[in-house]
Amino acid sequence: MSLIEFKVGASGVQNVPFSVLRADDTADPALMPDIPESDLRALYRTMVLTRAFDARMFTLQRQGRLGFYLACTGEEAATVGSAYALKPEDWVFPCYREQGCYLWRGVTVQEMAHQCYGNALDHTKGRQMPVHYSFRAQNIVSISSPLAVQLPQAVGTAWAAKLRHDPIVTLTYFGEGSTSEGDFHVGLNFAGVYKTPTIFFLRNNGWAISTPREVQTASENFAMKAAAYGFEGVLVDGNDILAVIAATQDAVEKARNGGGPTLIEAVTYRVGSHSTSDDPSAYRNEADVKVWEEKDPVQRFQRYLAKRGIWTPEWEAELQAAVKAEVDEAVQNAEKAAAPTPETLFDDVFAEMPAFLQEQRAELLDSLKETR
Amino acid sequence: MPTMNIIQAVNDALKIQMRQDDRVVVLGEDVGKFGGVFRATSGLQEEFGQERVVDTPLSEAGIIGTSIGMALYGMRPVPEIQFADFIYPAFDHIVNELAKYRYRSGGQYTCPVVIRTPYGGGIKGGHYHSQSNESYWVHTPGLKVVIPSNPYDAKGLLLSAMRQDDPVVFMEPKRVYRAAKGDVPEGDYTIEIGKAKVVREGRQVTLIAYGSMLHTAVEAAKKAEAEGIDVEVIDLRSLVPLDIDTVIGSVEKTGRCVIVQEAPKTGGFAAELIALINEKALLSLEAPVVRVTGWDTPFPYTLDLEYLPSPERVLQGLRKVVNF
Q: How far apart are CA A244 and CA A223, in angstroms?
A: 14
Q: How far apart are CA A157 and CA A168, in angstroms?
A: 10
Which pLDDT does position A1 carry in this prediction? 41
Q: How far apart are CA B218 and CA B232, in angstroms?
A: 9
Q: Which CATH number fits domain B197-322: 3.40.640.10, 3.40.50.920, 3.40.50.10440, 2.40.50.100?
A: 3.40.50.920
Q: Which residue of A has its CA nearest to B66?
A: A156
Angle separating helix axes A297-307 and A37-62, nearest 10 degrees: 150
- Please tell me the distance in Å from B173's CA to the nearest CA on chain A: 25
Binding-face residues of A in 183-222 toward B, CB within 8 A: 183, 186-187, 189-190, 193
Q: Which residue of B has its CA nearest to A124?
A: B106
- Please tell me the distance in Å from A273's CA to the nearest CA on chain B: 26
Q: Is the pLDDT reported for residue A227 higher than 80?
A: yes
Q: Is the pLDDT reported for residue A5 higher than 70?
A: no
Segment A139-148 shows an average pLDDT of 97
Q: How far apart are CA B120 and CA B98, in angstroms?
A: 23
Whether the Cβ atoms of residue B189 and residue B163 lie closer than 8 Å to each other: no
CATH topology of domain A7-340: Rossmann fold (3.40.50)
User: Which chain A residues have a beta carbon less than 8 Å from that of B51?
Assistant: 163
Catalytic, A165? Answer: no
Q: Which residue of B has its CA nearest to A184?
A: B62
Average pLDDT, chain A: 95
Catalytic, A132? Answer: no
Segment A231-246 shows an average pLDDT of 97
pLDDT tens string B191-242? 999 999 999 999 999 999 999 999 999 999 999 999 999 999 999 999 999 9
A142/B107 touch (CB, cutoff 8 Å), yes or no: no
Phi-psi region for residue B158, left (φ > 0), alpha (ψ -120 to 50) or beta? alpha
Whether the Cβ atoms of residue A49 and residue A103 lie closer than 8 Å to each other: yes
In the DSSP assignment, the letter for residue A165 is T
Confidence class of residue A2 from pLDDT cuts 50, 70 and 90? Answer: low
Cα A272 to Cα A55, A60, A72, A229, distances in angstroms: 10, 16, 8, 33
Cα A74 to Cα A48, B39, B53, distances in angstroms: 11, 54, 45
β-pairing, A14-16 with A7-8?
Answer: antiparallel
Q: Is the pLDDT reported for residue A58 higher than 90?
A: yes
Confidence class of residue A8 from pLDDT cuts 50, 70 and 90? Answer: low
Count contacts between A and B (CB, < 8 Å): 140
Segment B261-276 shows an average pLDDT of 98
β-pairing, B114-119 with B144-146?
Answer: unpaired
Which pLDDT does position A15 carry in this prediction? 82
Domains of chain B: which residue ranges? 3-183, 197-322
Catalytic, A256? Answer: no
Which one from A105, A132, A203, A274 is the annotated catalytic residue? A274
Percent helix, strand, coil in chain A (nearest 5)? 50, 10, 40
The identity of residue A351, as a single letter, is: A
- Nearest CB among B93, B104, B241 relative to A149 is that of B93
Within 10 A of B114 (CB to CB), how many other CB atoms are there?
Answer: 28
- Residue of B305, B273, B264 whose CA lies nearest to B207: B273
Cα B142 to Cα A193, B26, B85, distances in angstroms: 31, 22, 21
Q: Which residue of B has its CA nearest to A172?
A: B69
Whether the Cβ atoms of residue B317 and residue B258 lie closer than 8 Å to each other: yes
State the best of B103, B165, B236, B247 to mutate against chain A, taking most chain A CBs within 10 Å.
B103
Q: Is the pLDDT reported for residue A288 higher than 90?
A: no
CATH number of B3-183: 3.40.50.970
In the DSSP assignment, the letter for residue A372 is -
Which pLDDT does position A12 carry in this prediction? 64
A156/B141 touch (CB, cutoff 8 Å), yes or no: no
pLDDT tens string B112-155? 999 999 999 999 999 999 999 999 999 999 999 999 999 999 99
- Please tell me the distance in Å from A86's CA to the nearest CA on chain B: 17
In the DSSP assignment, the letter for residue A338 is P
Q: How far apart are CA A52 and CA B210, in angstroms?
A: 58
Q: How far apart are CA B6 and CA A333, in angstroms?
A: 57
Q: What is the pTM assigned to this prediction?
A: 0.96
Beta partners for B27?
Answer: B54, B79
Q: Is the pLDDT reported for residue A95 higher than 50?
A: yes
Q: Is the pLDDT reported for residue B243 higher than 80?
A: yes
Long-range pairs of A50-56 with CB within 8 A, sequence gap ≥ 24: A50/A76, A50/A79, A50/A80, A50/A99, A50/A100, A50/A103, A51/A76, A51/A298, A52/A320, A52/A323, A52/A324, A52/A327, A53/A99, A53/A103, A53/A109, A53/A112, A53/A113, A53/A327, A53/A330, A54/A99, A56/A327, A56/A331
Cα B112 to Cα B72, B77, B101, distances in angstroms: 8, 8, 10
Segment B278-300 shows an average pLDDT of 98
A353 touches B at CB < 8 Å: no
Q: How far apart are CA A35 and CA A122, in angstroms?
A: 34
Segment B277-293 shows an average pLDDT of 98
